[in-house]
Amino acid sequence: MVRDGVPGFAVRVGGGLSTVPRIARDLGVFVPVEEAVEVLRATLDVWKEDLRYRLSRVKARMKFMVDDYGAEGVRAKVEARLGRRLEDFTAPESAGFADHMGIHEQKQPGRHHVGVPVLVGLITGEQLVQVADLAASFGGDVRLTRQQNFEVTGVPAARLDQTTGRLAEIGFPVDANPLRATAIACTGEPHCNYAVRETKGKMLRVLAHLEERWGTRLENFRLNLDGCPHACALHWVGDIGLMGTTARETVGGTRQPYDRFLRGGVGSEQAVGRPLVRRVPSPRVEATLDRLIGAWLEGRADGESFRDFCIRTSDEELQAIAAGVEAGEGGEAA
């Protein structure tokens, strides 16, 4: 950002997900670009040298120090280490969620950037080379997004049709279902030692079902799937977050259950979701998703978002919707 003609940064501290999720807090300072490394070093040193947060690996995260001291207390420690007071500043609100997909004009006249969905983040080495060659052919660049997609930048207006056509040939149609751009899944089984459930394959099956059932009605709908509590795919902050878990009972050898997190959000609606629907067996995941999505689309007013629908709906009602029963009846999702 630029403040009074000076480029610099606001600072947020203490964010983190995993088993103890936290939203980062505003440190309340403005840091000019040339001071950024110094301030970051001081912030890390303040945490690193407080041995209370180095004794246990479980507690070896800055978010626990921010919990204890608050953003104001951490700022005071950082300023004491720097030997000066930092400039007061309130971090601006986030502009909100953006998937960066589609064709958009750049600031540079005659140039465009093209956002391309990558289904569950899977791309081959050969495809990477082909995309790089395409970008190089007009002096462009390739950038990655946190939704596991990519953007081709610097595309001349005269090359837009050719570029989107070539991307489709490589295997990345720009006009794919919008859910493919917003749904993400972590590495999961069998490639991650921490994962207890499949993620990429499961998400592929879920997306195929949702595309067939709901078409393009789920634009900007965020579906996040993790194979364990570490939250690499950010299940805490999706519209619906799925997390692989365990269950003692088995059906046909295994239940392969997933917990369901609701009311999470990012940007100006940042919030940590709640695990309201627990241990849904893998074969029933799609059915419970359909019930929740259907209840939202049928009952929303004035374009209400899924998150807002979940906020105004009680825990008991959401659990009943997911299970396909009347509120108060109990029962298991079928």
CA distance 64 to 70: 10
23 located within any domain? yes
Contact criterion met (CB below 8 Å) for 102 and 174: yes
Q: At what angle do helices 36-48 and 62-82 cross, to 10 degrees?
A: 120
Residue 264 identity: G
CA distance 68 to 66: 5
pTM of the model: 0.86
Take residue 60 and report the two structure tokens written for it. 């070896």
| CATH classification at residue 120 | 3.90.480.10
Helices and strands (DSSP H and E) totals, the chain: 9, 13
299 located within any domain? yes
Residues 70, 189, single domain; the answer is no
Residues 45, 84, single domain; the answer is yes
Residues 197, 229, single domain; the answer is yes
Range of the domain at 15: 2-88
290 located within any domain? yes
Q: How many domains, the chain?
A: 3
Residues 83, 38, single domain; the answer is yes
Nearest to 43 by CA among 97, 7, 4, 82: 82
pLDDT at position 98: 79
At which of 88, 103, 129 does a domain end? 88
Residues 169, 185, single domain; the answer is no
Residues 313, 190, single domain; the answer is yes
Question: For 249-297, what is each residue's pLDDT tens digit?
Answer: 555 555 689 999 999 988 778 899 999 999 999 999 999 999 999 999 9
pLDDT at position 334: 47
The SS3 assignment for 228 reads coil
Take residue 287 and report the two structure tokens written for it. 């059915």
Residues 170, 187, single domain; the answer is no
Report residue 329's pLDDT band, with 50, 70 and 90 as the boundaries. Answer: low
8 located within any domain? yes
99 located within any domain? no
Output b/e per residue, 103-139; b: 16+ Cβ within 10 A: beeeeeeebbbbbbbbbbbebeeeeeebbeebbeeee
At which of 141, 156, 176 does a domain end? 176
Residue 68 CB contacts under 8 Å (≥ 6 apart), including other chains: none
pLDDT at position 190: 82
Residue 22 CB contacts under 8 Å (≥ 6 apart), including other chains: 14, 15, 16, 63, 66, 67, 272
Residues 185, 302, single domain; the answer is yes
Residues 56, 21, single domain; the answer is yes
| CATH classification at residue 210 | 3.30.413.10
CA distance 209 to 180: 12
CA distance 237 to 176: 24
Question: For 62-84, what is each residue's pLDDT tens digit?
Answer: 999 999 999 999 999 999 999 99
Residues 165, 274, single domain; the answer is no
At which of 131, 147, 176 does a domain end? 176
52 DSSP assignment: G
H-state helical runs in 137-199: 160-170, 179-182
333 located within any domain? no
Take residue 313 and report the two structure tokens written for it. 């709906």
pLDDT of 333 above 50: no
Residues 237, 296, single domain; the answer is yes
Residues 215, 303, single domain; the answer is yes
Question: For 96-154, what is each residue's pLDDT tens digit?
Answer: 777 889 999 999 999 999 999 999 999 999 999 999 999 999 999 999 998 899 999 99
CA separation, residue 182 to residues 32, 50, 145 (Å): 33, 39, 11
Question: For 186-222, what is each residue's pLDDT tens digit?
Answer: 999 888 999 999 999 999 999 999 999 999 999 889 9
